[in-house]
Chains A and B, each alone.
Chain A
Amino acid sequence: MSNTCLEFRNLTLGYQGHAAVHHLSGGVQRGSLTAVVGANGSGKSTLLKGIAGILKPISGACVPGFRRLAYLAQQSELDRTFPARVTDLVSLGYWQKRGLLGRLTAADKIRLSTCLDAVGLTGFEKRPLDSLSGGQMQRALFARTMLQDADLILLDEPFNAVDARTIADLIVMIKGWVAEGRTVLCVLHDYVLVRDHFPESLLIARKPVAWGATSDVMTSENLRKARSFQEAWDEEAGWCEDDAGRERQTYGHDHHTHLPHQHKVAGHV
């Protein structure tokens, strides 16, 4: 089996022809722990949605080398007023294994309580979702992610509205997943956390600024570059021709054949 869990081939993602992630190429190593860093609107969440298959690429491709994927979206995407209990939410994690009609086995239920225990939510099984705090909710969602038993795990700002103690617990869990050989991509804003816990980083600002070992990526020079991108869409922006003369940023892999495409360029770093 190849050592690449996920490969981007000149991937461009966006909305209505405007690129939000621009010409991303490179591979994510199996069993790596990567922080995806960038300002608001730099395309971090868009990238995760593209990997999860929720958003179709404008051009290029995202080549999967993984068996199963777990995607944890930002908490705000979830309807917390829905009348469900914690177990109802967490057992959604069995979807890939049990599908639409499959019943949960006794072993499944035991594993579910093991996972709830691992996130410190034993005794919360019957609690309605609207009674959970932000941190408890995130713990429940981590339990669901564990149940998915995925080898590629995407986390979109999992530490938002979560206190320091919970963050520490969740990071221990993430490191445990990596130790089990799973690959984790995590969007986050806290540079201290990134430097302390994430060996690899991908810094993006609509297009990749730097990708590699965190100490090489999170330099003040790179961070300054990443800040100065243009956040707003520019209707006057020219069509991206991606001419051969311009050097394309490629990491870890050779150039791939580039399919013709059209999307607007808004701001260069």
Chain B
Amino acid sequence: MYEDLIGPFLRYGFMQRALFGSLVLSVSCAPIGVFLMLRRMSLTGDAMAHAILPGAAVGFVLFGLQIVPMTLGGLIVGLLVALGSGIVSRFTVQKEDASLAAFYLISLAVGVLLVSWKGSSVDLMHVLFGSVLALNDDALTLIVGVAVITFLALAVFWRALVAECLDPLFLRSVSRIGTPVHLIFLTLVVLNLVGGFQALGTLLSVGLMMLPAAASRFWTNEVRAMCVIAIVIAAISSVSGLLLSYHASLPSGPAIILTAGVIYAVSALVGTRGMLPTALTSRRHKTA
């Protein structure tokens, strides 16, 4: 038992790297996911993940399967799409979900065209589903850097982020920080998706962001606690997903996300704010 749980991480360098990378990513992505969910932008993460693809594809077309150019490409295109849709929605009547859909669809179409034009379907699978078991030093450095930036930014802008979600009109009446904070937040989303892109691929990196966040909502009604719970769920998913993938010879990215999915389903059922407790206590009530 002990051997099964700890052994793989002690024995293999690639497992240690995978563990370290996905744990750091969990700590960084999960709070971002919580704020995406609270801002009713849960699907934005998904759209942004698609938007990163063409950037990575340009890097891939120009330099082959290498992390630095693919990451930089993803970062640039992701920021362009995030800021572009953010600006369109702030300065026109169009809501952000529509402008983002437009931007990411264009981006995704270009990305798939580029990858299929230059690469084989195996390469496409790599871009789409990532390779947490092949994290090199560059990728680990990137993930740690993203996590550090995310935490610093969250610490500085926490109060503004909460105010922007809770009562945006009030914030606009007392401060001009609303729009910059929104754009900074979108930048953090892109940074974390790009960080996750290496480990889990474009399609699944959003899973580590949103599933733990969505699951945390079933356990608490306090933002800080939600972030902590989401981080714990993401970390547990990373460890169990890696072990699952090692023992059952499954692809690691989907294994991690599937574990997070199971935790989400369990939380939705038995979480303190989940379905079962709500149903069971519905007849009991206090007199005042």
Which residues of A approach B to under 8 Å, CB–CB? Answer: 16, 52-54, 69-71, 73, 77-79, 82-85, 88-89, 92, 95-96, 100-101, 128, 144, 148
Contacts and interface: CB of A to CB of B under 8 A. Distances in A.
A101 B156 CA distance: 7
Contacts of B165: 79, 82
The majority secondary structure among interface residues of chain B is helix
Contacts of A79: 165-167
A84 B172 contact: no
Contacts of A70: 173
Q: Which of A54, A84, A88, A89 gathers most chain B CB within 10 Å? A: A84
A78 B166 contact: yes
Interface string B217-261: 100111100100000000000000000000000000000000000
13 contacts: A53-B172, A71-B170, A71-B174, A78-B167, A78-B169, A83-B223, A84-B166, A85-B222, A88-B166, A96-B174, A100-B159, A100-B160, A144-B170
Nearest to B175: A95
Nearest to A83: B221
Contacts of B220: 83
A54 B166 contact: no
A54 B167 CA distance: 13
B288 to A, nearest CB: 12
A79 B35 CA distance: 14
A83 B144 CA distance: 29
Contact of B166 (A52, A69, A89): A89
- Interface size range of chain B in the complex: 20 to 34
B38 interface: yes
Contacts of A100: 156-157, 159-160, 175, 177
Contacts of A69: 173
Given A52-B173, A54-B173, A83-B38, A77 B222 contact: no
A69 B174 CA distance: 8
A158 to B, nearest CB: 14
B154 to A, nearest CB: 13
A71 B166 contact: no
B173 A92 contact: no
B224 to A, nearest CB: 10
Interface string B167-190: 111111111010000000000000
A77 B159 contact: no
A73 B156 contact: no
B270 to A, nearest CB: 19
B265 interface: no
A244 B33 CA distance: 58
Q: Which of B156, B157, B169, B171 gathers most chain A CB within 10 Å? A: B169
A212 to B, nearest CB: 27
